[in-house]
Amino acid sequence: MKYRFAVFGDPVAHSKSPTIHLRFAEETGLDVCYEKVRVSEDDFARAVTDFFATGGHGLNITVPHKWSAFKMASQLSAEALVAGACNTLMPFGQDLYGHNTDGLGLLDDLDRLGWSPEGLRILILGAGGAIAGCLSPLLSRRPREIVIANRSKDKAVNLASRFGHPVSGIGLDCLDDLDLPFDLVINGISAGLSGSAEIELNEHILNTNGACYDLIYGAQETPFLRMCRPLTAHRSDGLGMLLSQAARAFELWTGVSPDPFSQLSDFGRASEN
Protein backbone atom coordinates (compact mmCIF):
# COMPACT_ATOMS: atom_id res chain seq x y z
CA MET A 1 0.00 0.00 0.00
CA LYS A 2 1.22 3.50 -0.79
CA TYR A 3 0.33 6.16 1.79
CA ARG A 4 -0.41 9.68 0.56
CA PHE A 5 0.24 12.50 3.06
CA ALA A 6 0.63 16.28 2.78
CA VAL A 7 1.04 19.47 4.79
CA PHE A 8 -1.31 22.39 4.06
CA GLY A 9 -0.28 25.89 5.13
CA ASP A 10 0.33 29.44 3.96
CA PRO A 11 3.24 29.99 3.90
CA VAL A 12 4.49 26.43 3.76
CA ALA A 13 7.80 26.61 1.91
CA HIS A 14 9.76 26.48 5.20
CA SER A 15 8.03 23.28 6.40
CA LYS A 16 10.28 20.39 7.39
CA SER A 17 7.35 17.96 7.48
CA PRO A 18 8.05 16.25 4.11
CA THR A 19 11.67 15.52 5.08
CA ILE A 20 10.67 14.26 8.53
CA HIS A 21 7.86 12.00 7.30
CA LEU A 22 9.87 10.56 4.42
CA ARG A 23 12.58 9.61 6.92
CA PHE A 24 9.95 7.98 9.14
CA ALA A 25 8.82 6.03 6.05
CA GLU A 26 12.38 4.90 5.39
CA GLU A 27 12.84 3.88 9.03
CA THR A 28 9.58 1.91 9.19
CA GLY A 29 9.75 0.44 5.67
CA LEU A 30 6.43 2.00 4.60
CA ASP A 31 5.75 3.36 1.11
CA VAL A 32 4.88 7.05 1.53
CA CYS A 33 4.54 10.10 -0.71
CA TYR A 34 4.33 13.47 1.03
CA GLU A 35 3.44 16.80 -0.62
CA LYS A 36 3.90 20.35 0.64
CA VAL A 37 0.92 22.44 -0.53
CA ARG A 38 0.38 26.18 -0.16
CA VAL A 39 -3.33 26.64 0.45
CA SER A 40 -5.03 30.01 0.95
CA GLU A 41 -7.66 30.47 3.66
CA ASP A 42 -10.41 30.82 1.05
CA ASP A 43 -9.44 27.55 -0.61
CA PHE A 44 -8.79 25.49 2.53
CA ALA A 45 -12.10 23.58 2.85
CA ARG A 46 -12.18 22.68 -0.84
CA ALA A 47 -8.52 21.57 -0.82
CA VAL A 48 -9.05 19.31 2.23
CA THR A 49 -12.19 17.76 0.74
CA ASP A 50 -10.43 17.13 -2.60
CA PHE A 51 -7.36 15.63 -0.91
CA PHE A 52 -9.34 12.97 0.94
CA ALA A 53 -11.82 12.40 -1.92
CA THR A 54 -8.87 11.51 -4.15
CA GLY A 55 -7.42 8.95 -1.76
CA GLY A 56 -5.29 11.03 0.65
CA HIS A 57 -4.56 9.27 3.96
CA GLY A 58 -3.36 12.05 6.26
CA LEU A 59 -2.87 15.81 6.44
CA ASN A 60 -0.64 17.96 8.63
CA ILE A 61 -2.12 21.42 9.10
CA THR A 62 -0.01 24.47 9.84
CA VAL A 63 -0.45 28.25 10.13
CA PRO A 64 -3.01 29.74 9.57
CA HIS A 65 -5.39 26.79 9.11
CA LYS A 66 -5.45 24.96 12.48
CA TRP A 67 -8.72 26.64 13.51
CA SER A 68 -10.35 26.01 10.09
CA ALA A 69 -9.29 22.35 10.34
CA PHE A 70 -10.92 22.17 13.79
CA LYS A 71 -14.17 23.56 12.38
CA MET A 72 -14.16 21.09 9.48
CA ALA A 73 -13.55 17.93 11.53
CA SER A 74 -16.74 16.21 12.67
CA GLN A 75 -14.83 13.82 14.97
CA LEU A 76 -12.28 15.29 17.38
CA SER A 77 -9.69 13.88 19.77
CA ALA A 78 -9.71 15.09 23.39
CA GLU A 79 -6.50 17.06 22.69
CA ALA A 80 -8.06 18.84 19.68
CA LEU A 81 -11.22 19.64 21.65
CA VAL A 82 -9.30 21.27 24.50
CA ALA A 83 -6.94 23.12 22.16
CA GLY A 84 -9.75 24.30 19.85
CA ALA A 85 -7.38 23.62 16.95
CA CYS A 86 -6.24 20.67 14.80
CA ASN A 87 -2.78 20.11 13.33
CA THR A 88 -3.62 16.61 12.03
CA LEU A 89 -6.53 15.35 9.90
CA MET A 90 -7.47 11.93 8.56
CA PRO A 91 -10.57 10.25 7.11
CA PHE A 92 -12.80 8.37 9.56
CA GLY A 93 -15.41 6.46 7.57
CA GLN A 94 -17.42 9.18 5.85
CA ASP A 95 -16.26 11.70 8.49
CA LEU A 96 -13.14 13.75 9.05
CA TYR A 97 -11.14 13.10 12.24
CA GLY A 98 -9.14 15.96 13.75
CA HIS A 99 -6.33 15.62 16.29
CA ASN A 100 -3.78 17.96 17.89
CA THR A 101 -0.34 16.46 18.47
CA ASP A 102 1.53 19.67 19.47
CA GLY A 103 1.15 19.26 23.24
CA LEU A 104 1.87 15.53 23.13
CA GLY A 105 5.02 16.32 21.14
CA LEU A 106 6.09 18.86 23.75
CA LEU A 107 5.59 16.33 26.56
CA ASP A 108 7.59 13.68 24.68
CA ASP A 109 10.43 16.13 24.28
CA LEU A 110 10.35 17.31 27.90
CA ASP A 111 10.54 13.64 28.93
CA ARG A 112 13.52 13.10 26.62
CA LEU A 113 15.26 16.07 28.23
CA GLY A 114 14.47 14.86 31.76
CA TRP A 115 12.25 17.91 32.42
CA SER A 116 9.02 16.10 33.10
CA PRO A 117 6.44 18.63 34.42
CA GLU A 118 5.34 16.69 37.57
CA GLY A 119 5.44 19.02 40.58
CA LEU A 120 7.13 21.87 38.69
CA ARG A 121 6.32 25.56 38.74
CA ILE A 122 6.03 26.43 35.04
CA LEU A 123 6.00 29.87 33.42
CA ILE A 124 4.65 30.04 29.86
CA LEU A 125 5.39 33.08 27.69
CA GLY A 126 2.66 33.60 25.06
CA ALA A 127 -0.96 32.47 24.81
CA GLY A 128 -1.36 31.59 21.13
CA GLY A 129 -2.63 28.47 19.39
CA ALA A 130 0.44 26.35 20.12
CA ILE A 131 0.30 27.10 23.85
CA ALA A 132 -3.45 26.38 23.93
CA GLY A 133 -2.64 22.94 22.51
CA CYS A 134 0.06 22.28 25.12
CA LEU A 135 -1.86 23.11 28.28
CA SER A 136 -3.99 20.00 28.67
CA PRO A 137 -1.07 17.56 28.10
CA LEU A 138 1.07 19.59 30.55
CA LEU A 139 -1.69 19.52 33.17
CA SER A 140 -2.09 15.77 32.78
CA ARG A 141 1.35 15.51 34.47
CA ARG A 142 0.24 17.49 37.53
CA PRO A 143 2.62 20.46 37.65
CA ARG A 144 2.46 22.47 40.89
CA GLU A 145 1.59 25.68 39.05
CA ILE A 146 1.36 27.11 35.52
CA VAL A 147 1.47 30.88 34.97
CA ILE A 148 0.71 32.11 31.44
CA ALA A 149 2.18 35.54 30.68
CA ASN A 150 1.07 37.22 27.47
CA ARG A 151 1.40 40.63 25.81
CA SER A 152 -2.41 40.78 25.60
CA LYS A 153 -3.25 40.06 29.23
CA ASP A 154 -6.91 39.24 28.47
CA LYS A 155 -5.89 36.37 26.22
CA ALA A 156 -3.74 34.86 29.00
CA VAL A 157 -6.48 35.28 31.59
CA ASN A 158 -9.15 33.79 29.30
CA LEU A 159 -6.99 30.83 28.35
CA ALA A 160 -6.11 30.15 32.00
CA SER A 161 -9.77 30.38 33.03
CA ARG A 162 -10.61 27.48 30.70
CA PHE A 163 -8.49 25.26 32.97
CA GLY A 164 -8.72 26.82 36.46
CA HIS A 165 -6.39 25.85 39.31
CA PRO A 166 -3.35 25.57 39.08
CA VAL A 167 -3.29 27.71 35.90
CA SER A 168 -3.37 31.51 36.02
CA GLY A 169 -2.88 34.27 33.46
CA ILE A 170 -1.03 37.60 33.73
CA GLY A 171 0.29 40.34 31.46
CA LEU A 172 3.87 40.02 30.22
CA ASP A 173 4.65 43.30 31.95
CA CYS A 174 3.88 41.75 35.36
CA LEU A 175 6.69 39.16 35.39
CA ASP A 176 8.64 41.09 38.05
CA ASP A 177 5.66 41.02 40.41
CA LEU A 178 5.77 37.20 40.72
CA ASP A 179 6.80 35.78 44.09
CA LEU A 180 8.85 32.62 43.52
CA PRO A 181 11.22 31.65 40.71
CA PHE A 182 10.04 29.00 38.22
CA ASP A 183 11.52 25.56 37.49
CA LEU A 184 10.68 25.60 33.77
CA VAL A 185 10.06 28.51 31.39
CA ILE A 186 8.44 27.69 28.04
CA ASN A 187 8.50 30.31 25.28
CA GLY A 188 5.60 30.37 22.81
CA ILE A 189 6.00 33.96 21.61
CA SER A 190 6.16 33.82 17.85
CA ALA A 191 8.26 36.98 17.56
CA GLY A 192 11.03 35.07 19.34
CA LEU A 193 11.22 37.98 21.79
CA SER A 194 12.77 40.25 19.18
CA GLY A 195 9.71 42.46 19.32
CA SER A 196 9.28 42.36 23.06
CA ALA A 197 12.39 43.92 24.55
CA GLU A 198 10.60 44.52 27.85
CA ILE A 199 10.97 40.82 28.76
CA GLU A 200 14.08 39.97 30.63
CA LEU A 201 14.38 36.72 32.53
CA ASN A 202 16.56 36.83 35.65
CA GLU A 203 17.26 34.77 38.80
CA HIS A 204 14.09 36.19 40.30
CA ILE A 205 12.07 34.47 37.56
CA LEU A 206 14.08 31.29 36.84
CA ASN A 207 15.47 28.89 39.48
CA THR A 208 19.23 28.31 39.44
CA ASN A 209 18.71 24.76 38.19
CA GLY A 210 15.71 25.72 36.10
CA ALA A 211 15.20 24.88 32.43
CA CYS A 212 14.23 26.99 29.42
CA TYR A 213 12.35 25.52 26.46
CA ASP A 214 11.67 27.46 23.25
CA LEU A 215 8.88 26.19 20.99
CA ILE A 216 10.74 27.95 18.18
CA TYR A 217 13.60 26.06 16.53
CA GLY A 218 16.24 26.76 13.95
CA ALA A 219 19.79 26.15 12.86
CA GLN A 220 20.90 29.12 14.97
CA GLU A 221 20.36 29.58 18.70
CA THR A 222 17.01 31.35 19.13
CA PRO A 223 16.90 34.85 20.72
CA PHE A 224 15.05 33.41 23.72
CA LEU A 225 17.68 30.73 24.36
CA ARG A 226 20.45 33.29 23.91
CA MET A 227 18.81 35.45 26.56
CA CYS A 228 18.62 32.42 28.92
CA ARG A 229 22.26 31.42 28.41
CA PRO A 230 23.67 33.31 31.46
CA LEU A 231 20.90 31.92 33.68
CA THR A 232 21.01 28.17 33.09
CA ALA A 233 22.78 25.37 31.24
CA HIS A 234 19.43 23.61 30.70
CA ARG A 235 18.14 25.05 27.43
CA SER A 236 16.44 23.53 24.41
CA ASP A 237 14.72 24.69 21.26
CA GLY A 238 11.54 23.07 19.88
CA LEU A 239 13.03 20.75 17.28
CA GLY A 240 12.38 17.67 19.43
CA MET A 241 8.75 18.77 19.81
CA LEU A 242 8.44 19.23 16.04
CA LEU A 243 9.81 15.73 15.42
CA SER A 244 7.66 14.16 18.10
CA GLN A 245 4.39 15.81 17.05
CA ALA A 246 5.14 14.54 13.53
CA ALA A 247 5.82 11.01 14.81
CA ARG A 248 2.48 11.01 16.61
CA ALA A 249 0.67 12.00 13.40
CA PHE A 250 2.53 9.30 11.45
CA GLU A 251 1.51 6.73 14.08
CA LEU A 252 -2.13 7.85 13.89
CA TRP A 253 -2.20 7.51 10.09
CA THR A 254 -0.27 4.22 9.77
CA GLY A 255 -0.47 2.46 13.15
CA VAL A 256 3.35 2.29 13.17
CA SER A 257 5.45 4.36 15.63
CA PRO A 258 8.71 5.78 14.31
CA ASP A 259 11.49 7.01 16.63
CA PRO A 260 11.15 10.82 16.51
CA PHE A 261 14.49 11.59 18.06
CA SER A 262 16.65 9.57 15.67
CA GLN A 263 16.47 12.64 13.39
CA LEU A 264 17.66 15.20 15.95
CA SER A 265 21.22 15.21 14.66
CA ASP A 266 20.06 15.49 11.01
CA PHE A 267 18.90 19.08 11.46
CA GLY A 268 21.15 21.96 12.59
CA ARG A 269 20.53 22.34 16.31
CA ALA A 270 20.37 25.26 18.69
CA SER A 271 21.96 24.81 22.10
CA GLU A 272 20.59 22.10 24.30
CA ASN A 273 21.69 20.60 27.58
- Chain positions 70 to 109 lying near ligand NDP, rule: CB under 6 A, are 102, 105
Contact assessment for residue 135 and residue 188, using Cβ atoms and an 8 Å cutoff: no
216 binds ligand NDP per the rule CB under 6 A: yes
Judged by CB under 6 A, which of 89, 175, 189, 201 binds ligand NDP?
Answer: 189
Question: Which DSSP symbol is given to 230?
Answer: T
- Sheet of 145-150: strand order equals 167-171, 145-150, 121-125, 182-187, 206-214, 234-236
- Chain positions 151 to 180 lying near ligand NDP, rule: CB under 6 A, are 151-152, 155
Binding region for ligand NDP (CB under 6 A) out of 38-46, 128-136, 159-167, 263-271 = 128-136
Indicate the angle between helix axes 102-113 and 129-139, nearest 10 degrees: 60
241 binds ligand NDP per the rule CB under 6 A: yes
131 binds ligand NDP per the rule CB under 6 A: yes
Judged by CB under 6 A, which of 6, 215, 228, 231 binds ligand NDP?
Answer: 215
Is 155 among the residues known to form the active site?
Answer: no
Cβ contacts of residue 128 below 8 Å, gap of 6+?
188, 190
- Rounded alpha-carbon distances, angstroms, from residue 217 to 55, 194, 224, 240, 267: 33, 14, 10, 9, 10
| Smallest distance, ligand NDP to C-beta of residue 31, A | 26
212 binds ligand NDP per the rule CB under 6 A: no
Helix extents (H) in 29-128: 44-53, 66-72, 78-83, 102-113
Q: 155 or 234, CB closer to ligand NDP?
A: 155
**81: nearest Cα among 63, 103, 61:** 103
| Smallest distance, ligand NDP to C-beta of residue 181, A | 21
Q: 207 or 260, CB closer to ligand NDP?
A: 260
How do beta strands 88-92 and 2-9 pair?
unpaired
Judged by CB under 6 A, which of 190, 218, 252, 261 binds ligand NDP?
Answer: 190
148 binds ligand NDP per the rule CB under 6 A: no
Collapsing DSSP states into helix, strand and coil, what is residue 161?
helix
By annotation, the residues acting in catalysis are 66
Which residues are near ligand NDP by CB under 6 A?
102, 105, 126-131, 150-152, 155, 188-191, 195-196, 215-217, 238, 241-242, 245
